[in-house]
Amino acid sequence: MRKQILAAALLTGSAAGPVAMAADTPSTTIGSTVYLDFSHISQTSNGEDTAAAGTGFEVKRGYLIVNHTFNGIWSANVTTDFRYTSADTEIYVKKAYLQAKFTDALVLRLGSEDTPWVPFEEALYGYRYVENVLIDRLKYGTSADWGLNASGRLANGLFGYSLSALNGGGYKNPTRSKDVDFEGRVDVVPLSGLTLGLGVYSGHRDLVTATNPAENTAARWDAIVNYSFAAFQIGADYFDARHWNQVQLTTPQPGDEAEGESAWASVKFAARYSLFARYDHVKPSKSLNSALKDDYFNVGLSYSPIENIDLALVYKYETVDNGSLGTANGTIGGPSGTTDGRYSEIGVWGQVKF
């Protein structure tokens, strides 16, 4: 179990696919990961239906993953990210990095690569194809960004770390800013199945230039605990973000603070089936709109007919009170202090990897 967790923490991201292994001769692997769903959405704002309500099929994310190994140290990865929407087809380069793996304790990546926190949590959580992890769901973090990363595992896998100097705008925005941002993570696996982690972020999120100074510095810290034993898993995480959406302001005003927590559990049975559930509670604006709050939960039954294919029957429900909030499922709610939003979705979610 410890080996599985360590491998996931070091190698997997939101677009996890075949990973090029060290070799003395060049080799290339090509793979893909696709997230899809067929569901019915009910969404209201102050009790009135919104345009998001309806039934349909959607490809939430699709990744084409190419890994090339030059030799035992040097390798490269290119991962494209595409999504179909009603308006257009979106295609991005999610990852494009050069990697030098000197030892298990020191791996360097240059380019667009996994950020230290979101992919790490996704690997522990295990149900990314159903829903983004907490800070990714509410846009307080992203899974990949442009910059330089150093990572590794020490003491026979007991300790792990990931340190990045980033542009700060996410993989969809490779533009330069005045200063780079910093994101880091340390984790420990004190016993088989148990993982503890701490993360930190500080910077201007690619919003500051030499002629456009910052009002505030965005900062975030994260904590996680996850325990897998036999067929059971239970985990929780917490984040606190300061001035995340107040780096630049058209008129000076105080900064803001957001905090939230997420808890999840799952149990496997009959070899190919799992029951799982998750609950998130967030206060997105403790200073500027202290009444604004978000509550989200999902519950589901997953089935893996063969390796690399997962299907899940899922029910999701989310409430946003006293304002609006942008989420991975769209904007929920309405004008600040006057609107309550309700979102529910039921259907089948799936992921396919090869």
Write out pLDDT tens, residues 162-196.
Answer: 999 999 999 988 888 888 999 999 999 999 999 99
Strands 273-283 and 181-191: unpaired
- Distance CA(102)–CA(111), nearest Å, equals 18
Q: Where are the domains of the chain?
A: 2-353
Give exposure, 239-258, as e/b (b: 16+ Cβ within 10 Å): bebbbbbbbeeeeeeebbbb
Write out pLDDT tens, residues 28-37.
Answer: 999 999 999 9
Label residue 16 by pLDDT band (50, 70, 90). Answer: very low
Write out pLDDT tens, residues 305-354.
Answer: 999 999 999 999 999 999 989 999 989 987 766 678 999 999 999 999 99
Q: Where are the beta strands (DSSP E) in the chain?
A: 27-45, 48-49, 54-69, 74-84, 89-103, 106-114, 144-154, 159-166, 181-191, 194-203, 218-229, 232-242, 257-269, 273-283, 293-303, 309-321, 324-327, 330-333, 341-353
Structure tokens at 9: 């923490």
Write out pLDDT tens, residues 259-313.
Answer: 999 999 999 998 899 999 999 999 999 998 899 999 999 999 999 999 999 999 9
Structure tokens at 342: 């309700």
Amino acid at 262: S
- Distance CA(145)–CA(183), nearest Å, equals 10
User: How many Cα atoms within 13 Å fall on the side-chain side of residue 130?
Assistant: 28
Per CATH, domain 2-353 is 2.40.160.10: yes
Structure tokens at 348: 């089948």
Regarding pTM above 0.85, the answer is: yes
